[in-house]
Structures are given as structure tokens and as C-alpha cells.
Copies of this chain bind each other. A is one copy, B any other.
């Protein structure tokens, strides 16, 4: 039981925890919903419980772990304080998540950005493991990114990787961030839903919202988009095509700047649609790649549902 590490993926809807061994094999895991109300302290308590449960399934106590890594939304300081995690309840300000969990669990805790740790997981163990440089593009509610250069994460001044807010069209669509023409304004799930709603209200025929109600979902999940596509919904197909176009443009811009060996596409929409749309994505990139005879390898993330938590566990070395 020596050398076990914990990993936590703290998301807006669920908390996924794992315990992995020195070979990064999963020895225990647990999942629970993220609290929808309350305070950061309440979220931290739910995180603690989820990690205890994973440790229990691995047959150990958290104090026996070498340490626990956490992938968190929001801005993460050097001292593992998390700020502005706006998809978590009551978390507009700052909360010392690392210290709180470390005291509660009795072991070292390190916190990183959720997308960055997931990308590092793919770099070490998944879609990027053969390469020395990787751009990760996490296509979900928003579009996040993570960068690994020459084997090491590149964090800039702490906010690197915001590929979703690279501009693909000046003066273009309004982004959830408030700016115009960002890649996320076309490709983020939230922006896609808002655009579907506008087109629906303008009279465009689509089953997207019918399917949403039928399956009792509060929003257009990636599963709802897939069902609509499968039944030939034109608006769904148009909006996914528009998203893939923006992704291809933005990724090509990033590759022109960084010339990485490989690109990994993850996130809820990415894992569901990237294979299906891979040819379209490559074709869109090709239009804008400056060195177009040698495009980077593009792959779907391979670590699946546990990828974020496994990537977080790599914060402990």
C-alpha cells in the first residue's frame, strides 16, 4: 500500500475522486454531486467525504496517502487558494481549499487548474504520452486549454491556456465572457445553447428543446445534442458544424504560434463528438495552418471520466 496518491476532479456538477498506486493504476474511486448551494466550506466538506470514500474502497485511510491532488475551476494561487470559481456555489471570492483539505484529510494537498491537470494527465498517460509537447483543448460548457512544452506544463503568469478566448472573428458573436468573437462564443456548450434558443425563438424548427424536456434535463447536455444529431436535426447539425469550424480555426492559430507536436481534445462535447467530427476538424485546421504539410497529431482524450482526477493525482510526486 506504499505510494498511494489521491486525485480529485472538482467540477460544477460532480466531484470525482480516485486513489491511484505508484503505477497510476486506479485502486479506489468515488463520485458524488457537487453541492448546488451553500458555501466553499460546504463544497470542501463534500470533497473531503468523496475522497474518504475513494480511500475506503482502496482499503486505506486518507492519512496513509502520500498526498492528494485537486483539479479545481477558478484561479488557483501558488498557495492553493482558489478564487472566482463561479460555477461552484458561493465561490465568487477566495477560499483556502488546499489548506482546508490538508487539515481535514491529514495529508499533503496540492491544487491545480482543472483543465491543466487533465491535460497533464493525457500528456503523461493518455493521448499525449508519445509526445514532448501537447496542446489540450477541453470542449465543454466553455472551451478551456492546457499546454505542455518540452515535457513541462506552461502556466505563464498563472492564466495560460485560455484557448477558448482566442479571437476567431473580430466583432463576431458575443461570448459568455462578455467579449466578442472568441472561439468559445461559437464552440462552448453554453454559447451553443443560447444560439439554439435564439434560432428556435426566431422560428427555426428544432427538436433540441423537446428532447431536453423529454429527458428531463435542465440544459442542452452533450447527450441531448447527440440525440438531436442522430435524428437529423438541422439546427443541431448547423451549430455543431459552426462549433467545429471555430475550434479548427482557433486550434490552427494556436499551432501557428506554438508548433506543438500534438493536440488532445477532451471535455464533455470533445469526448462525445470529436471522433465523429475529426475529419471536419482537421479540414478546418488545414485551412489556417501556416506549415500545412506537417500538421500536428490530433487525438481525442483517452483517460475518460476519471482523467481529471488521475491528472490531479499527478500533482503529487
Binding site for B on A (CB under 8 A): 133, 145, 147, 149-150, 154-163, 165-170, 172, 177, 179-182, 245-246, 249-250, 252-254, 256-261, 287-288, 290-291, 294
Contacts and interface: CB of A to CB of B under 8 A. Distances in A.
Contacts of A149: 149, 154
A162 B290 contact: yes
A169 B166 contact: no
A52 to B, nearest CB: 35
Contacts of A290: 159, 162, 165, 177, 179
A159 B168 CA distance: 21
Nearest 5 interchain pairs by C-beta: A156-B259, A160-B259, A166-B253, A165-B290, A162-B256
Contacts of A163: 256-257
Contacts of A161: 257, 259
Copies in the complex: 2
Contacts of A159: 259, 290-291
A256 B181 CA distance: 14
B261 A147 contact: no
Nearest to A149: B154
A168 B179 CA distance: 14
A12 to B, nearest CB: 19
A15 to B, nearest CB: 26
A163 B253 CA distance: 8
Contacts of A158: 259
Contacts of A165: 253, 256, 288, 290
Contacts of A291: 159, 162
Given A160-B259, A167-B249, A182-B288, 8 more contacts: A147-B258, A156-B258, A157-B294, A160-B258, A161-B259, A165-B288, A180-B287, A258-B258
21 contacts: A145-B257, A147-B257, A149-B149, A157-B260, A157-B261, A157-B294, A160-B258, A161-B257, A162-B257, A162-B259, A162-B291, A163-B257, A165-B288, A166-B257, A167-B168, A167-B249, A169-B170, A170-B245, A179-B287, A182-B288, A257-B258
